[in-house]
Amino acid sequence: MNTPAFQIKCPSCGKQHTYSTDNPSRPFCSERCKLIDLGRWANEEYAIPVPANQAEDSDNLPD
């Protein structure tokens, strides 16, 4: 049973591409975009927000 292909925007470059299990880089359009996104995480350009009280609690943890 084939599922219909659908178009999505690459989260990195914004290019429209077919979302398919044949693309090992999904949801990105290419390996290049996948690596760019990984680099952004590694350079701390992205962050997961935490509530202010949790951020303050982590400052009081023992070394």
**Residues comprising the binding site?**
10, 13, 29, 33
Instruction: Quickly tell me which residue has 């999904």 as its tokens.
Output: 26
**Annotated binding-site positions for Zn(2+):** 10, 13, 29, 33
Instruction: Find the length of the chain.
Output: 63
CB 36 within 8 A of CB 12: yes
- Phi, psi dihedrals of residue 58, rounded to the nearest 5°: -70, -20
